[in-house]
Amino acid sequence: MQRPLIAVTTSSRTGWRVFPLINLNLWITGGRGVRWGVGRVVDLEDVDGLIIGGGDDIGPELYGGKLGISARLDPDRDELERCLAEAALDQNIPVLGICRGSQMLNVALGGTLDQDAWTTYGPDRKIKTILPKREICVEEATHLSLISGEQPMKVNALHTQAVDKLGEGLRVSARDTGGMVQAIERVRDPFALGVQWHPEHLFYAHGQRAIFRALVAAADAYRQERNQTRAMRDELA
């Protein structure tokens, strides 16, 4: 059976090492990835799902903010990923946002970000590591709770920004113990989930693999429906 093809956006600085790890997670959950970034040509018509990866901070001009502490900006990537997120959601293509990608999903739907989240929530609570040392609580009756369970989870944290005002049609699906938003999701179809942590580093944990598995399942369903629609259109032509 053909594996669903997932486009993965990455940073121009770190994508060379991030994409293989995300692709590994996709492969072990039944999918396959193709790297997409500024200067790399991929058509949404050719893919079944989209992952917006982590890395650079998002420029505040995208959500009406002011330039503050953000130092690692990539305006070209910002524009690419915002357009991709908007187009994917409009075309019912499943989307998973990872760290920055979760923030971009929120911005694409009209939300805002806290540029200096650790100042807001307390610098003493700051944890920056790929190791699972931050505890989060999953909200009941959310898509994430059905995917990974409702029990508290230990996750990693590499971010400085965080979701502030929610975008249209989104809800919070997890917070950490200090109240900071750690996961968001679209209330209705298509599948759209954003997680503030990096589940690709936690592939040994069942609840983290389940996030990729859920994306792959949604992408496979989208591919089958799209192919059926195309076949019917060809018959009528």
Q: pLDDT value at position 70?
A: 53
- Tens digit of each residue's pLDDT (9 = 90 or more) over 178-187: 999 999 999 9
- Given this model, what pLDDT does residue 30 score? 98
| Domains of the chain, first to last | 5-236 (3.40.50.880)
Catalytic residue among 99, 143, 185, 201: 99
* Predicted confidence (pLDDT) per residue in 60-112, tens digit: 888 887 666 555 778 899 999 999 999 999 999 999 999 999 999 999 999 99
d(CA 77, CA 58): 9
Residue 198 appears among annotated catalytic residues: yes
Alpha carbons 78 and 216: distance in angstroms, whole number: 25
Residue 237 reports pLDDT greater than 80 = no
Active-site residue identified among 143, 159, 185, 198: 198
Q: Is a pLDDT exceeding 70 seen at residue 53? A: yes
The pTM score is 0.94
Is 159 one of the annotated active-site residues of the chain? Answer: no
Catalytic residue among 81, 159, 185, 200: 200
